[in-house]
């Protein structure tokens, strides 16, 4: 029993005048036709926060685990550590970077899953509110720890 022939389809080549990278049937706008969008700037922020995560997380791991005898600080040692302005900026930088990177990551996933622009706008607003509440809570908790 032989089934239908599964010959590969042949690409006839680029049409005359088509640039390299031509894909048949794809209407890809040229650089002149592309409108600036928030997606590009969001991608850039996500990439920047990814780099900052490496810096802040590396600093956090070294300061909290490798420079401390026994590998772990107790509560009083953490409070004393956070009273140094550079340490406080590094830890708050880690907090902000993690929250922004995570929020943009969740939004990037939802871009592919949500059915329309209206649903994406609503999800973006909700993600932004959750990120802001998380940020305020984290900063508030840090201030409470430093004040107590």
- Residue for token pair 């010959």: 7
- pLDDT value at residue 148: 64
What is the structure's pLDDT at 143?
Answer: 93
So what's the pLDDT on residue 57? 94
CB count within 10 Å of CB 124 equals 19
User: How far is residue 50's CA from residue 144's CA, in Å, rounded to a whole number?
Assistant: 28
Percent of the chain with pLDDT over 90: 50
* Residue 77 vs residues 48, 63, 113: alpha-carbon distances, Å: 31, 11, 45
Separation in Å, CA 4 to CA 8, 68, 77, 86, 119: 12, 70, 74, 70, 44
Segment 9-57, tens digit of pLDDT: 555 566 677 776 666 665 555 655 555 567 778 889 999 999 999 999 9
**Could you read off the pLDDT of 68-86 as tens digits, one per residue?**
888 888 889 889 999 999 9
Please tell me whether residue 80 adopts helix, strand or coil conformation: helix
What average pLDDT does range 109-137 have in this prediction?
92
Higher pLDDT among residues 24 and 66, named by residue: 66
**Alpha-carbon span 38 to 44, nearest angstrom:** 10
- pLDDT, position 42: 87
Closest to 123 (Cα-Cα) out of 133, 135, 105, 111: 111
Cβ(96)–Cβ(48) under 8 Å? no
This model's pTM is above 0.75: no
Check whether 147 has a pLDDT greater than 70: yes
Looking at the domain covering 39-147, what would its CATH class be? mainly alpha
């Amino acid at each position: 029993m032989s089934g239908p022939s599964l010959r590969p389809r042949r690409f006839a080549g680029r049409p005359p005048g088509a640039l390299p990278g031509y894909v048949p049937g794809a209407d890809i706008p040229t650089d002149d036709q592309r409108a600036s969008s928030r997606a590009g700037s969001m991608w850039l922020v996500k990439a920047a926060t990814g780099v900052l995560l490496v810096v802040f997380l590396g600093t956090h791991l070294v300061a909290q685990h490798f420079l401390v005898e026994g590998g772990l600080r107790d509560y009083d040692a953490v409070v004393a550590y956070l009273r140094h302005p550079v340490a406080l900026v590094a830890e708050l930088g880690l907090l902000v970077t993690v929250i922004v990177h995570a929020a943009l990551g969740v939004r990037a996933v939802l871009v592919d899953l949500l059915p329309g622009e209206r649903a994406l706008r609503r999800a973006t607003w909700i993600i932004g509110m959750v990120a802001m509440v998380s940020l305020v809570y984290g900063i508030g908790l840090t201030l409470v720890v430093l004040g107590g």
